[in-house]
């Protein structure tokens, strides 16, 4: 599997600050933040499956525009995978004919979009690849994802905070190679991180103490005004996992 980071910021403010979106091979998308706008139309039209972690705007903002843009270019619908609660929020607040047309009711060459509920623990197999939903703890119904090529796995937490069930599941992954963990706030904003159910470096390192398997760790979703501070709080920590800041256009192959 090949994962390309289209966006990994906790906000916008220039080409380098694009919100969360990960392109898996050329046909699977994890979240649909502003990073999705960086790829050409032909590549958008090749995306068959979109896995959403949760309904917050920075993770879904480009989904309506993508679906609209590729509607007449596809011979099969785009499948949107998310929890039932997330699908309910997207249907009620976005694809509702008021904010945006309901593309699950529209057909061009075919039905344009379909929803596929996914629950924690469920696995979806797509052409030899497996995507599993992992527990997340956030202010909206949320999940993370494990991407398993058969040879190795990459795990993405999505937006989350202190979350023991997540680490229990991750510690069962014998072939874990990469772990992407959100760390939205700096230590000076720890109270805000806790109230909004995000992480800061101090909370991140406490969570990583629960990790029992070896892996490379990357942090994402840094708030634009705190990037340098968060990076400094993470760098040179001397902790055993030595997390690195995730970058746009970074590629993982496994």
Range of the domain at 145: 2-253
* CATH number of 92's domain: 3.60.15.10
Predicted confidence at residue 238, as pLDDT, reads 56
Q: Is the overall model pTM greater than 0.75, yes or no? A: yes
Predicted confidence at residue 86, as pLDDT, reads 98
Predicted confidence at residue 237, as pLDDT, reads 61
Predicted confidence at residue 217, as pLDDT, reads 97
Using one digit for the tens of pLDDT, what is the confidence trace for 149-196? Answer: 999 999 999 999 999 999 999 999 999 999 999 999 999 999 999 999
Domain count for the chain: 1
Kindly give the parts of the chain with pLDDT less than 50. none
Q: What is the largest CA-CA distance in the chain?
A: 56
């Amino acid at each position: 599997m090949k994962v390309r980071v289209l966006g990994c910021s906790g906000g916008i403010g220039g080409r380098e600050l694009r919100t969360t979106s990960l392109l898996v091979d050329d046909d699977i998308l994890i979240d649909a933040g502003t990073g999705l706008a960086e790829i050409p139309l032909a590549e958008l039209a090749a995306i068959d499956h979109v896995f959403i972690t949760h309904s917050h705007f920075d993770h879904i903002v480009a989904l309506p525009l993508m679906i609209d843009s590729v509607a007449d270019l596809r011979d099969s619908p785009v499948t949107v995978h998310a929890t039932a609660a997330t699908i309910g929020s997207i249907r009620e607040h976005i694809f509702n004919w008021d904010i945006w047309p309901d593309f699950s009711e529209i057909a061009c060459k075919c039905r344009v979009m379909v929803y596929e509920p996914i629950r924690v623990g469920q696995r979806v197999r797509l052409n030899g690849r497996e995507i599993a939903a992992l527990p997340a703890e956030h202010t909206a119904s949320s999940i993370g994802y494990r991407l398993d090529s058969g040879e190795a796995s990459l795990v993405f937490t999505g937006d989350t905070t202190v979350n023991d069930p997540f680490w229990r599941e991750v510690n069962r992954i014998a072939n874990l190679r990469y772990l992407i963990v959100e760390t939205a706030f700096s230590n000076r904003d720890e109270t805000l991180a806790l109230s909004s159910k995000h992480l800061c470096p101090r909370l991140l390192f406490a969570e990583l103490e629960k990790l029992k398997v070896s892996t490379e760790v990357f942090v994402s979703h840094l708030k634009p005004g705190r990037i340098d501070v968060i990076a400094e709080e993470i760098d040179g920590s001397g902790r055993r996992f030595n997390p690195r800041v995730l970058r746009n256009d970074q590629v993982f192959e496994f």
